Amino acid sequence: LKGVSTLAYSGSNLGGLILVEPNRILHEPHVHGRASYFFESNGRSNGLNLEMQQYTPALGWKINGTLKKSGDQKTADYFLNNTGRREANTALQLEKVFADKLFTELYFSSFNTTLGILRGSHLGNLTDLEEALVRDEPLFTEDKFSYKLEAPKQEVHHQLLSLGAKYFFREHQWLELKMATQFNSRKEFDVRRSGRSEIPALSLKQLSCFADGKYHHRLRKDLVLNMGSQLNFIDNTNRIETGILPLIPDYLAVESGLFAWINNEGEKSFYEFGVRYDHIHQSVPTISRTTPREIERFTNSFHNLNLAAGGRFDLGGQISLSLNAGFVTRNPAINELYSRGLHQGVGGIEEGNPELLSEKSFKSTIGINGQQGKAFSFESLIYYHRINDFIYLRPSDETRLTIRGAFPVFGYEQTDATIFGFDLLSRLELSPRVDAKVAFSYLRGRDQTLGIPLIFMPPNNLLFNVTYHLVNPVKLGKNQLQNLEVSLESKITFRQGNLLNEQDFKPAPDGYHLMTLKSSTDLHLGKNRIRFFARADNIFNVAYRDYLNRQRYFADDLGFNAAVGATFHF
């Protein structure tokens, strides 16, 4: 989602928003489904998925289950020991329509995973940590593959239940309601002595309850009014079994929001305006950072205001111009305020700052899109973002030895910042069977208070893609192959040169060039169909480190990977 409509969702709303929702159930009276299997060479990963669905006048239903297992992944030169993963997920979806006016949906999902953390990112003393930060190969690296998961590792469970309804008063006026509750559980296990590695070093549970209502009214053919309200309750609790002070403290949060936007779409123009207000109340009992330990209680009340406006205009010749501007306030999150301890997944200690203020930001974008028939199209976007009291995670100049090991230390700080960039994308049909795509992204962030670059900004990148489509089916006896596609992708990620060496524990890694080859096709077997795919990532087995991946402090990123799979549709 882009533009003013993102105001319907809490958050900064200054960029685009990716909304993930389950697909609607197909209106088919017979049972349909699909069964999938895939294998990946890097990590020797196997995965199974089964989905079945049916829609009858009485009830529509869909069930889905997934199993995945992978072992140690590998860079171009060595194994990433203890990076395996286990995953078991299931989902149930029910739909019912009453009198063509009321649509209802129930959705339940269970996500469960155990994942290993790179052994070489958890060190027992400062000497080993200093060595690890300059080594080409992580400590504890063994030249052997294993599916075994040992500490450090994590166990994560998410259980979600939601109920939604959409009621049509008339064709141009409808109401959407949604209620959901989610229970999250996370345990982290460290390398401990005396056989205590199976005692979690972090154990927390979180219960959240969410309610949302949206009203839509088409006032006239070209004018639509949208408004709504939301309420979210979060209860985060740490279990006392760990014997270690928690990374995130216990807290209660109540978040309420009101929003409205209106859009007007004419033949050659489109306008939209919107506003959102949120109130966030937080009650946080924390344990003091100094001894003797004491309970410190914080009560926060934040008021956030979001304003947004946008428009799209037809310039003629199949070219359009889009303009968007917005003002947003964002309160600091709980982890930015009060985190204190090891963030295990990235191998670093993170320290919150209770003195943080709310961010106040302004963003403007200009976009030009166009096409020349079906053979050529382009998209371009330029953006400028000014943020006062920008909250960011800054690497300190400290490494620290704790009961959980030795780790680099990061702290949340604030500054006034600007972010400028542009994205370019063009597509070209070279022939009825071949098309090409070129994309380029450029971004610069600057700390205006200190007059230095912003850290942890994405590096610039350039992408080329060529895809071949087989237009005519290929006969295989009584059956045939259809929709055959083969694509070759080349992505160049440049070095993040807009950075001072002293801003981080180690300099930004070199740029790199990755090649990917993909192919897919359908085999029709009567009324059924099998979808085959094959993919090769990092074809030339390039050794590289991704600047935004904080495991880069300790190890290279993934090397060559071949993946194959098939999906049987029935």
Is residue 494 a contact partner of residue 479, using CB atoms and an 8 Å limit? no
pLDDT of residue 12: 54
- Amino acid type, 186: R
Report residue 302 as tokens: 């934040």
**Tens digits of per-residue pLDDT, 503-536?**
999 999 999 999 999 999 999 988 899 999 999 9
**Tens digits of per-residue pLDDT, 427-483?**
999 999 999 999 999 999 999 999 999 999 999 999 999 999 998 888 888 888 999
What's this model's pTM, rounded to 2 decimal places? 0.93
* Other beta carbons less than 10 A from residue 506's beta carbon: 14
Please give the tally of structural domains in the chain. Answer: 1
Is residue 342 a contact partner of residue 349, using CB atoms and an 8 Å limit? yes
Report residue 107 as tokens: 């959705």
Question: Among residues 492, 395, 496, 390, which one has the least CA distance to residue 443?
Answer: 496
- Distance of alpha carbon 37 from alpha carbon 82, whole angstroms: 24
348-351 vs 405-429, strand pairing mode = parallel
Q: Look up residue 56 and give its DSSP letter.
A: -
Is residue 385 a contact partner of residue 419, using CB atoms and an 8 Å limit? yes
- Distance of alpha carbon 567 from alpha carbon 155, whole angstroms: 29
CA 294 to chain CA centroid, Å, is: 37
Q: The domain spanning residue 449 has which CATH number?
A: 2.40.170.20
pLDDT of residue 290: 79
Q: Which domain holds residue 123?
A: 3-569
Report residue 223 as tokens: 């004018």
* Other beta carbons less than 10 A from residue 98's beta carbon: 10
Q: What is the DSSP string of 468-503?
A: EE--S-EEETTEEEEEEEEEEEEEEE----SS-GGG
pLDDT of residue 94: 98
What are the start-end ranges of the H helices in 409-562? none
HSE-CB of 238 using CA atoms within 13 angstroms: 21
pLDDT of residue 181: 98
Report residue 137 as tokens: 């190969």
What's the mean pLDDT when you consider all of the chain? 95
The residue-averaged pLDDT of 92-114 equals 96
**C-alpha distances out from residue 74 to 81, 143, 386, 433, 556, Å:** 8, 10, 40, 36, 9
Which strand (E) or helix (H) includes residue 334?
A: helix 334-338
Is residue 37 a contact partner of residue 566, using CB atoms and an 8 Å limit? yes
Question: Among residues 558, 563, 507, 561, which one has the least CA distance to residue 535?
Answer: 563
Q: Which value, in Å, is the radius of gyration of the alpha carbons in the chain?
A: 26
Report residue 489 as tokens: 């992708």
- Distance of alpha carbon 345 from alpha carbon 551, whole angstroms: 9
**Tens digits of per-residue pLDDT, 310-348?**
999 999 989 999 999 999 999 999 999 999 999 998 999
Residue 140: strand, helix, or coil: coil
**C-alpha distances out from residue 232 to 179, 214, 236, 280, 312, Å:** 10, 15, 13, 9, 33
